[in-house]
A and B are shown apart, each in its own frame.
Chain A
Amino acid sequence: MSALLDSLAAGFAGDATCRAALDDALRLGLPQPRSEAWKYTSLRALERRSFSASTAAASVPGAQLESIPSPRLVFVNGHPDAVLSNLEGLPAGVSITACGDTRSRSIANGSTGHTADDVFVRIGLALATRGVSLHASAGTRADSTIHLVFVGTTTEADLAWHLRNEISLSDGSELTVVEHHLACGPHAHLDNGVMHVDLSKGSRLTHARVQSGSSSGTSLLRTEATIAASARYERVDLELGASLSRHELVVRMTGPGAALVSNGVMLAQGRRHVDTRVRIEHDSPESTSQLNWRGLATDRGRVVFRGGITIHPGADGSDARLSNKNLLLSDAAEIDTQPVLEIHADEVKAAHGATVGQLDPDAMFYLRARGLGEGEARILLTAAFCREPVATVFDGPLRDFLVSRVDDSLSALRGGLS
């Protein structure tokens, strides 16, 4: 077994069900080198590392979180922090708790896959004794945004934590959630998470996830969402930080008229590796999915994107659109993109496209002919390229906030761009 899995398993405490689930995962081990699902993301460096279990919360200066308004629930190194959390202004009908050990239930309900490719999800479910549970009751119309904040801090040892979070919306409810993953000081922790999202009939969730973790950190996440009839899920993922970030987003549309908008921005600079794997399952008729993902790789960075959409038998009249455009800004950077569309139904509209290229030379010349320097023109065009997926989902202050997060990350690239 690998040093990695050994060290993660050493943090185990729990009953026989959890132990069995963990042993099951350990027996299969890490994904095989030939695994299709992990083809572009090597675990060779990670498997040799060991992490200590995160056993206690650490302190974070409150000022660090000033820009994130309440209601907010804050986790530090995988532990809920009652002092930093502030649930003031929580809309009526919305409940949010830092939940305790729900492993037996989540393992029993687990539909998370049973191969070595799913090792981190399975280990996560066996080890996750904490997480967030966010629920909107039927008919709730929440007008304020709920913030879920996950902070990693500098510590002596490299830590690992596993969180199992859930967001569930009852019939006809509406909620906006922003997940913040950020670093307070440099660290090389492993943040392994599973997020379950369950949208009941006619509900509507708007969800942003800003991953701006430590530049040496590792972020592994599986999001599993189900969208019932006439429910709508709109999300934006900003992959701006961490040394290795792998996000598997699995969305299943289980009722007629279910709708998904999933946009994202993936920035890979330095030696960052960003891997996003989207799997959309159209199970029901008249369901729609629209995906707009943008990737940018510079220096020795690497972006991996797989957008898989399956329209199953019976999902007639479904509409699926996937666009993945990428900017490759240095010779040593790499982008691997793979749109996969499978259609087994009738009267389906589906389109997908993926491109990898450089900035448009006509636009560059236009800006320079008006007086902007080459570097400035590049920055302007790059920012515009990255903002679009955000601006089509969010507006108002949330859009401004998310755009400023993207802009901040891009300004850190300035040297590389200009």
Chain B
Amino acid sequence: MRGTLLYVGQRLILIAITTILVSSIVFLLLHQIPGNAFLNETRQSPQTLAAELHHYGLDLPLHTQYFNWVQGVLHGDLGESLVNRGVKITPLLIRETSVSATVGFFALLVTIGLGLILGVIAALRQNTWVDYVASSAAVVGYSIPSFVLAIFGLLIFGHYLYDWTQGTIYYSPGFTSPLTQVEVPALALGLPYASYVARLTRASMLETIRTDYVRTAWAKGLKARVVVIRHALRNALIPVVTILGPLTTGIITGSVVIENIFGIPGLGKEFITSILARDYNIVIGVFTFYAALVGLANLTVDVIYPVLDPRIRY
């Protein structure tokens, strides 16, 4: 237990360093771009422009700006929006993260739930029509990008089935709202990865159900449910868990386009809106959030790992 805590502590420090390092690259890159958010079609007097630049500290030399920014990040302050003056970025992004997290959570549920169920069933019924249907669905589903699924979902549920759904595929915050509003985005986001998980689960289940200890479990006369879930699946899960890290990264980056298609007010929508509006402070802020989220997601996976596989200890 102490070892685990120590390990988590070390990793947290590493995540913080990585996050700041990577965000620094983005910070420096974005400050190389000529022009800024204040250069737009509305005419400004030089005095106003200078005042604006001064307000955001953009008139300071780059290294001072960078130093101030790092200091801000360390204090949890990501600065102020360039476009909407006075809007603090940190609280804005925290609110948007909770929106993105809701969709991401359901997408992960789709990915793991559907993927595991399909994979296990296909493996248990190997070489039957069930297996062929599940396997072909997985082979096709893996290659359809989530934004294409989102478009199809919008077309089917928002247009062709309008009478049934009443077009309720928009997002409203919180878990209290009817599920239909998160379902379609979560499905679009999770299905490609669910296919991947299903393929992986099927392959590793096929290997596990042929091992001696599973045969012993059957021979002991254990119930099918116990053999499959407690003996076979638990060990078959190990290779599946290894891809959970990259998978979560995929869902987080995938949410950028999904949120833009469905108009979900989360981090991803903010990211693209801010890039197009040249609100670099928010772009850097969202990026910092994403880097930290990906790091934390990977850490969570690594912490779950020893639970499934006791041979691994930290």
Verify that A and B bind, or say they do not. Answer: no
A interface residues with partner B (beta carbon < 8 Å): none
